[in-house]
Amino acid sequence: MQSDLRGRDLIGDLDFSKEEVETILDVAWDLKRKRALGEPHAYLRDKVLAMLFFFSSTRTRGSFEAGMAQLGGHAAFVESRTTQISHGDTEREMGEIFGRYFDGIAIRHVDWGIGNRYLNLVAEASRVPVLNMQCEIYHPHQCLADIMTIMEKKGRDLRGRKMVVSWAYASSYLKPISVPQSLILQMPRFGLDVVLAHPPEFKLMPDIMDQAQEQARKFKTGFEVVDDMEEAFKDADIIYAKSWGPLLTTHDPEEGKAIQDKYESWITDARKMALAKDDAIYMHPLPADRDIEVTSEVMDGPNSVVFDEAENRMHAQKAVMALTMR
């Protein structure tokens, strides 16, 4: 166990080593047990977390707020449009000032080419940990909840298990690519053979792909890319299928929507799930476009773990906060 993560930022998935992620998971399970038994665990009494949102949220806001309260602290919700950021408060000001008011700064900023840089510049100026609630490149806390959920369902020894990270069609906005990128970086470290499936226009960032391949080589796991959803699903243990925008192809919303609409057949339905193993689990970070991205039959079915996965956001984030904000 890596016992001292005090003061550390978590912005990218590889900021913490595999051993440090294992420490987070151990603490998350302990906090989940304490929550279930009603045992007090106010490790962050009198601590305050600033939550700065440039992008709307359901699970992220709810899980961080509830988690801080259960740890004995307080989370202050700050919507960027209610601040003076548009009137001159730079990343330096936010890091310096919020770093003096608060004991941690959590930020969600997914604007392409802006969000990740913003988080890193705030972190450079801050004397307290900066936690990434999602940027355009990474969604590390979602990924921690995902690996926690996979281990609860499939055991801690995941070597030889096949995990599909697949694009899926959605009719709504062009969603960020940060979730699949975090998954392909983190999952090979835990022994999973990852198959990434997407249409040609929905590629991920080349640097992230190179790092994912490097992690797969380092941990001696499989990493394959295919352009056929059904081929990917065959004999899979874990199906993680969600939409993301063709952001490396175009940033134009109308052009992106036209590209996206060519692939309406990329829906997770019972027929495709039948291609996976009988006990395969279906995962999604939510929100999902019901009966467009995934059928209700699958999302509400016996193979779906999406609500356990959503709950684990809170437990995993509590572990990160308890370890970094002490």
The closest of 14, 109, 6, 7 to 56, measured between CA atoms, is 109
Q: What is the pLDDT of residue 159?
A: 97
What is the layout of strands, in order, in the sheet containing 238-242?
223-226, 193-197, 162-167, 238-242, 281-283
> For residue 22, what are the domain limits?
13-139+314-324
Q: What percent of the chain is modeled with pLDDT above 70?
A: 99
Q: Give backbone dihedrals phi and psi of 77, rounded to 5 degrees, phi first.
A: -80, 125
Residues 159 and 301 in one domain: yes
Q: Read off the pLDDT of residues 31-44 as tens digits, 9 standing for 90 and up.
A: 999 999 999 999 99
Q: What is the pLDDT of residue 109?
A: 98
Residues 228 and 90 in one domain: no
Mean pLDDT to the nearest integer, 115-127? 98
Q: Which residue has the tokens 């392409």?
A: 112
CA distance 311 to 326: 23
Residues 89 and 210 in one domain: no
Q: In whole angstroms, what separates CA 67 from the centre of its chain? A: 17
Where does 102-173 have alpha helices with state H?
115-125, 140-154
* CB neighbourhood size of 119 (10 A): 29
Residues 149 and 111 in one domain: no
Q: Is the pLDDT of residue 21 over 90?
A: yes
Q: Is residue 5 in some structural domain?
A: no
Residues 123 and 49 in one domain: yes
Q: What is the pLDDT of residue 59?
A: 93
61: CATH: 3.40.50.1370
Residues 167 and 218 in one domain: yes
Q: Is residue 3 in some structural domain?
A: no
Residues 107 and 224 in one domain: no
Q: Find out whether 296 and 273 touch, Cβ atoms under 8 Å.
A: no
Q: Is residue 4 in some structural domain?
A: no
Q: Is the pLDDT of residue 1 over 70?
A: no
Residues 59 and 34 in one domain: yes
